[in-house]
Chain A
Amino acid sequence: MNQFNHVNASTVAEAASLKAGGNAALMAGGTDLLTTLIDYINPTQPATVVNLKNIPNLDYIKEESGMLKIGALARLTDIADSSVVKDKWAALAEAAGKVATPQIRNMGTIAGNLCQESRCWYYRSANNYFHCLRKGGVICQAVPGNNTYHAILGGSGCFSPFPSDTAIALTALGATVVTNKRSIGIEDFYEVLGNTLGNDELVTEIQVAAPASGTKQVYSRYALRKSFDFPVSCVAIVATMSGSNVSDCKIVLGGCVTRPWRVTGAEDALKGKAVNEANAEAVGTEAVKGALALPYNKWLIQLTKTLVKRAVLSLA
């Protein structure tokens, strides 16, 4: 990678200012950023890397008035192991614990996991070999190319798969992303081509309201390699139970989608229903109803349907 200036930001405001100044990259755990620099995946290289880890008091995990608050610099390991998170926000703990390897979870932060760059193999090609739509180019090379692991839902020009595990669980949990500028529902935090952070904006906190009592949570993923891998497809379900029936639910897909993809049709198919084989099959079918297969990724429709079906059955 190229030489760069390394600046230790001591406040969020300082980090935002440095980012706004242009040609700077923010670094928390660095597990994603450094690989992008080593491989020269972007058209330009940052002159400055802003280290956020020295900003004090931004790595907390706490419950306040029934609200889970996680500082942007909280490590994935700590979220996965937190008794507070495991107790009421189990889907998040499960998702955080599935990210990559123990070593990466020890370095990676929640904000970094939410803001990581695409894992599309065209996007990540070294030396910006494929200057794709997502980087300001004119086409998504995955469409005519090898799209075995690309998005079946949410694609629009770009069909990049969505890499974050935690974002899927947080979307099902109805989280809010707090930045130095605003609070924004996580469903609105992402667009097809990435997140909606402004030039002078960075994530400072994640807030999640406590689920109603009797809520069941599931986070389930399929990855080719079980030891460590990005999810090819994943699903989070947060369901309020009424007896053995599901009274209310949120179902969110990840992996083979361009951004956290809530499947309201599947949610409607589950609401008011008992958890059984037939209903789970119907929910799975509904979840992939709008899926659009590219030449190589039709299999992801079947896989995702199965994943959703089994996640529903696990609510029983």
Chain B
Amino acid sequence: MADELSVIGKPGNIDQQAVECVTGTIEFPNDVYMGQKLHAKILGSTHAHARVVSIDASAALALDGVEAVVTHEDVPGWSDVKYHVGDAVAAVAARDENTAYHALTLIEVEYEVRAHVVDPDEAMQPGAPLVGLFPDGNTTLRTDIVRGDIEAGFAQADVTIEDESGWTNRWQNSPIGGGNTTAWWQDEILHAWVDTQNPHGEHNGFVGSFALPHNKVRVFAHAAGGGFGGGRAAVQAVAAALAKKTGKVVSLHTDKRDNFSRGVTHFACKSKIKMGAKNDGTLTAIDAQFWGDGGVNTRPPYNGLPDCLQIGIRCPNANFKVTGIITNAPPSGYYRCVQHPPGAFLMNTALEAMAEKLGMDPLEFRLKNVLTLGEPDQDNGRAFSFNTLTECLQDAASGIGYAAGKHAPGAKTLPDGRKHGMAVTGHLDGHGGYSGTGRAAIITLRPDGTCFLNLGISRSACGTQTAHCHFVAETLGLKYEDVKTGDWGATAVTADGGMQAGSTNTNSTGAAFTVAARDAREQLFEAAAKMFDPPVNAADLDARDSKIFLKSDPAKSLTHKEVCARNQRIIGKARAGWDAVLQFDVGPWPAGTPANQRVPVASGAEVAVDTESGEVEVLKWVMVTDIGRVVYYDGAHAQAWAGLYHMFWQAFFGEHIYDRETGMSLNPNFLNHRWPASLDIPYDALQEVLKEGNSGLGPYGATGMGEPCASQYCVIACAIYNALGVWCKEPPFTPWKILKALGKA
């Protein structure tokens, strides 16, 4: 089938934003120039839990260049109670950034300090201080999956293990932007230039915050520099409030400290897993408890974690329970996936422990227990559209030479004295599918036969917009270079393309653009059919390489330009969503099949561990992801590379550290948060492999991939265990943690 495609999956098509990015001409929200503008900065709470009694901004307002100060009395959504250090208390608009920063130091805030709790273990204890968001405790929710008969399952087991982890790390995504906004009110119409992941969502937010009619808000999505889940900072209203108060253009430029103190982090979690299996390796029961620290987020994003813990593992008797905890720490949220990185970590380390107790090779044990093609979802009975997890695990194993190199935990020492370890892990990832929200798309064919995509989505530069251009070009039979993105997320003139999150954009918005392209194609072929001499039936036409031709005689053709020059009103439009899923034939599944999509992903890793210094070197890390269909070739491989980079960071560096006494972040910067620089990445040791099962539910069998390919740092934990024969279950796996696991710290 791949050979039939002329655009999709072909190397060399460049990203729609590439030239702007590499030439530095891409515009961020703060680059918007409208003559003189004011600069805004936000003052954060110095207490982890307090009520603001009074704010004296007179000294700040007296500072030369300061034009306005806003507080909870002005900014929609702000409360007088602050729930974490850094929670926004006030904001200043001044003629330049330094004056705004200086003004923040002059604002006097009187607080009524309340008891707080930052440690999630402490927060769960009876009598712990209340975070303040719930009246009678710090536990937010419980989510359960109960399947089969857990007691009977353990009764059938020959072997049981009880596996426990420490708290996983909180990661801060800290994108380049993260709430940057320029706002201006003109004739009571709010104009806002934002770097969001969801421009129409921000539009709706402004409508709600300022009680405006929808047609009195205009949002423009500008460059976000990535999002990773942090592109929804919820501070845009500050710029709008200051712009309203001053009557001037106000630009809020969040700095890294803002990102770290107010931006969302990934949640921390820990687990206790009891597992039972027969001597032949068949799993009979899993009883898993999970705790998540959501910070002050009352709607933490980990309620799907039980599903992520068990997904892809066949076990008839299971009990998965999650307990959410709130603490007086910044809100947890999304970080390039939500539940899968910790879910895969917690489950895969437990599987590794069970394999050892059974005396089985861990890969063999996994292959025996993962769901295979044709098996339905264990809880809802729905078929998976495709499942190549078995093949992904085998490919990952081959990639690191697992069969020849495997050994018992702690059994191999390298000539230089370091311990050698290998592991293969995998999971079926729940992301990369469809968003349930409707997504709309409009495309316009121009008189010269070229095409514009009217994009109601963000400018998070992750390539999905370029994938949409591939769908449109392929469907219309246009050359890739004849398709361009038009307006980006300008809400007054674009259709709502949905939120760019959950790795759904390729599929969900892509489906909308593909449906829109089909709509335009019908119009195009109807018009072209009449232009052939003699006229032909539209159904007899096909298109490729910007030519429309007779299927029966491809030499008889017209160019898109010839057709569009005489038919200048071809506009394709679509509103897609769940309905659109059913419009595509995907692999073995005919259109209309209520299939379930998961993205299979596996990793193989080989490490060397220095037991005297605690340092870990990655000798090889191969990640295999089946994304259904490679659409934008270079972008897909870049995503997979970036996934390896993120996982490397999660495994060895990523950790947001708070002072337990005060709740203050101790590493709110890139120096101490330690994102690896390019020199820290062992590029020669890393390898990404993309498979094409061709059966994703998206257009042309595609799936999303951003999060699935960033959720396998668990393989490093298992490889370290294989090297040492002792577990280190508190990521990141720094020398401190390794030496601690070895009893040397």
Contacts and interface: CB of A to CB of B under 8 A. Distances in A.
Contact of A299 (B257, B659, B678, B744): B744
Nearest to A304: B613
Contacts of A225: 653, 674, 676-677, 680
Greatest chain A CB density within 10 A among B614, B664, B674, B676 is at B664
A228 B680 CA distance: 9
Interface string A1-24: 111000000000000000000000
Interface string B406-428: 00000000000000000000000
A306 interface: yes
Given A1-B101, A145-B659, A299-B745, A224 B653 contact: yes
Contact of A122 (B660, B666, B736): B666
A302 B674 contact: no
B740 A146 contact: no
A226 B616 CA distance: 13
A247 interface: no
Nearest to A120: B666
Contacts of A228: 677
A148 B736 contact: yes
Contacts of B671: 229
Nearest to B46: A129
Contacts of B657: 121, 146, 148
B356 interface: no
A121 B105 contact: no
Contacts of B614: 299, 302-303
Contacts of A229: 671, 674
A82 interface: no
A261 B661 CA distance: 31
Interface residue tally on A, bucketed by range = 20 to 34
A117 B46 CA distance: 24
B111 to A, nearest CB: 14
In terms of DSSP, what is the predominant structure of the interface of chain A? loop
A141 B612 contact: no
B666 A40 contact: no
Interface string A290-316: 000000101101110011010000000
Interface in A85-144: 121-122, 125-127, 129-130, 141, 144
A131 B510 CA distance: 54
A38 to B, nearest CB: 8
A1 B671 CA distance: 19
Nearest to B101: A1
A60 interface: no
Contact of B660 (A129, A146, A226): A146
Contacts of B653: 224-225
B667 interface: yes
B680 A227 contact: yes
A190 interface: no
Contact of B105 (A127, A296, A302, A306): A127
Nearest to A298: B745
Contact of B102 (A2, A296, A309): A2
Interface residue tally on B, bucketed by range = 35 or more
Contacts of B101: 1-2, 38
Contacts of B662: 129
B105 A129 contact: no
Contacts of A40: 105
Interface string B701-745: 000000000000000000000000000000000111001100011
Contacts of A299: 614, 735-736, 739-740, 744-745
B679 interface: yes
Interface string B229-264: 000000000000000000000000000010000000
Given A302-B739, A302-B744, A144 B664 contact: no
Contact of B613 (A38, A126, A301, A303): A303
Nearest to A281: B612
B105 A141 contact: no
Given A302-B739, A306-B613, A125 B678 contact: no
A227 B661 contact: no
Given A3-B98, A129-B46, A303 B659 contact: no
B668 interface: yes
Nearest to B652: A224
B680 A129 contact: no
Greatest chain B CB density within 10 A among A3, A39, A121 is at A121
Contacts of A1: 98, 101-102
Nearest to B674: A225
A2 B661 contact: no
Contacts of B668: 126
Interface string B645-686: 000000001000101111010111001101011111000000
Contact of A121 (B661, B672, B740, B744): B672
B510 to A, nearest CB: 37
Interface string B96-138: 0011011001000000000000000000000000000000000
B736 A121 contact: no
Nearest to B740: A299
Contacts of B660: 145-146
A221 to B, nearest CB: 12
B735 A141 contact: no
B679 A226 contact: yes
Contacts of A3: 98-99, 102
A155 to B, nearest CB: 18
A226 B735 CA distance: 13
Interface of A: 1-3, 38-40, 121-122, 125-127, 129-130, 141, 144-146, 148, 222, 224-229, 296, 298-299, 301-303, 306-307, 309
26 contacts: A1-B98, A2-B98, A3-B98, A38-B101, A39-B257, A125-B666, A129-B664, A130-B664, A141-B659, A145-B661, A146-B666, A222-B735, A224-B735, A225-B680, A226-B680, A227-B677, A227-B680, A228-B677, A229-B674, A298-B745, A299-B744, A302-B739, A302-B744, A303-B739, A306-B613, A307-B613
Given A39-B257, A226-B679, 13 more contacts: A1-B101, A129-B662, A146-B659, A146-B660, A222-B735, A225-B653, A225-B677, A226-B680, A298-B745, A299-B735, A302-B745, A303-B735, A309-B612
Interface of B: 46, 98-99, 101-102, 105, 257, 612-614, 653, 657, 659-662, 664, 666-668, 671-672, 674, 676-680, 734-736, 739-740, 744-745
The 4 closest A-B pairs by CB, nearest first: A299-B745, A227-B679, A227-B677, A306-B612
